[in-house]
């Protein structure tokens, strides 16, 4: 009996924090999403107009399509880059000291804020930026490349830069737990490099890939700052759409949009968890 009370007490602080900072705000969000509003005020009510507008507008569908395409592209690229960085760290590098050092180097970009890391691309990629000047100067091209900045390319580049490490860490973590003798056993059975990768390493890395994918997809789906800054306002994302509605004081519309986005992201996470059992990693 006393044990049960102790357990409840131990769990209470976190439960309280989650209640105050997660459950209550979410509840408010859902409530507000059913409010009515005009240009100056919120009108407490229970109307479905916000949701009807969300689902009825072509803008929503196009924005979701765009956001999904960002998420998919960034996911594929971060997975490819992240997997090989993790592979290099886990299997190619020998020696714990060297591995730790290289791993720390991977985290250096995180010593500064997301915003600064994004802005840092501007002088590099701009019309008169370093890259264009170098290319024009070397005679490789006549005209500066326009697509480098304020474009989907720039958005994806920034996302990949920001989020690849979220893929590296969990994959690296699962790779380090793979018994090296399994690889020898596969080689002994006649597997070459790619077959060891496909039949042994990849299946055993699935939990790490799933966790990394959740990080990246959730971050990209909810992003608004990167898209706004790197696309120069020429591209849209769901997050940006919500942010715009907030700046127009259309809180109920923004809330409805947010609830839909939350549901969509939760479904994506659920889908990933259905495919891969990550419990053994936790």
Partner 1 sequence: MRDVELVAVTKRYGSALAVDGIDLAIPEGSYTCLLGPSGCGKTSTLRMIAGHEMVSEGEILLAGRNVTTLPPAQRGTAMMFQSYALFPHLSARDNVAFGLRMRGVAKAERLRRADEFLDLVHLGPLADRLPAQLSGGQQQRVALARALITEPRVLLLDEPLSALDPFLRAKMREELKRLQRELGISFIHVTHSQEEAMALADLAVVMDHGRIVQAAPPRQIFERPASAFVARFIGGHNVLARGAQAISIRTDRCRLDDGAEGPRHHGHVRAVEYLGAAMRIVVVAEDGTEAEAMLPDSTPPIALGEAATLTWNAADEHALAA
Per CB under 8 A, residues contacting partner 1 are 179, 181-182, 184-191, 195, 199-200, 203-204
Nearer to partner 1, 145 or 204 (CB): 204
Nearer to partner 1, 246 or 273 (CB): 273
36 DSSP assignment: E
- We find the least distance from the C-beta atom of residue 215 to partner 1, in angstroms, to be 23
Nearer to partner 1, 200 or 209 (CB): 200
- We find the least distance from the C-beta atom of residue 176 to partner 1, in angstroms, to be 15
d(CA 212, CA 171): 7
Tokens of 85: 């960085």
Nearer to partner 1, 3 or 190 (CB): 190
d(CA 26, CA 277): 27
Nearer to partner 1, 11 or 185 (CB): 185
Distances (CA, A) of 171 to 51, 75, 85, 89: 38, 14, 9, 10
- We find the least distance from the C-beta atom of residue 186 to partner 1, in angstroms, to be 7
Residue pair 48/34 in contact by the 8 Å Cβ criterion = yes
Tokens of 146: 């326009």
- We find the least distance from the C-beta atom of residue 271 to partner 1, in angstroms, to be 21
DSSP, collapsed to helix, strand or coil, labels residue 8 as helix
- We find the least distance from the C-beta atom of residue 201 to partner 1, in angstroms, to be 11
Residue pair 119/227 in contact by the 8 Å Cβ criterion = no
């Amino acid at each position: 009996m006393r044990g049960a009370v102790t357990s409840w007490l131990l769990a209470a602080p976190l439960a309280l924090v989650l209640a105050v900072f997660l459950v209550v705000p979410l509840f408010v969000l859902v409530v507000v999403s059913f409010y009515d509003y005009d240009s100056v005020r919120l009108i407490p009510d229970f109307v479905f107009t916000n949701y009807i507008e969300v689902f009825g507008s072509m803008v929503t569908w196009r924005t979701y399509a765009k956001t999904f395409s960002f998420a998919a592209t960034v996911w594929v690229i971060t997975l490819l880059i992240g997997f090989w960085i993790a592979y290099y760290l886990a299997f190619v590098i020998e020696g714990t000291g060297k591995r730790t050092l290289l791993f720390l180097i991977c985290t250096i970009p995180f010593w500064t804020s997301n915003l600064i890391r994004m802005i840092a691309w501007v002088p590099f990629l701009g019309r008169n930026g370093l890259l264009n000047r170098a290319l024009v100067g070397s005679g490789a091209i006549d005209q500066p490349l326009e697509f480098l900045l304020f474009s989907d390319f720039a958005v994806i580049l920034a996302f990949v830069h920001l989020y690849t490490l979220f893929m590296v860490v969990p994959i690296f973590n699962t790779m380090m737990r793979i018994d090296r003798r399994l690889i020898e056993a596969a080689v002994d059975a006649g597997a070459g490099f790619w077959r060891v990768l496909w039949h042994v390493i990849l299946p055993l890395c699935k939990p790490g890939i799933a966790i990394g994918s959740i990080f990246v997809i959730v971050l990209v789906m909810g992003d608004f700052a990167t898209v706004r800054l790197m696309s120069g306002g020429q591209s849209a994302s769901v997050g940006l759409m919500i942010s715009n509605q907030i700046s127009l004081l259309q809180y109920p519309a923004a809330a409805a949009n947010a609830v839909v986005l939350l549901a969509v992201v939760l479904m994506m996470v659920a889908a990933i968890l259905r495919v891969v059992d990550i419990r053994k990693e936790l």
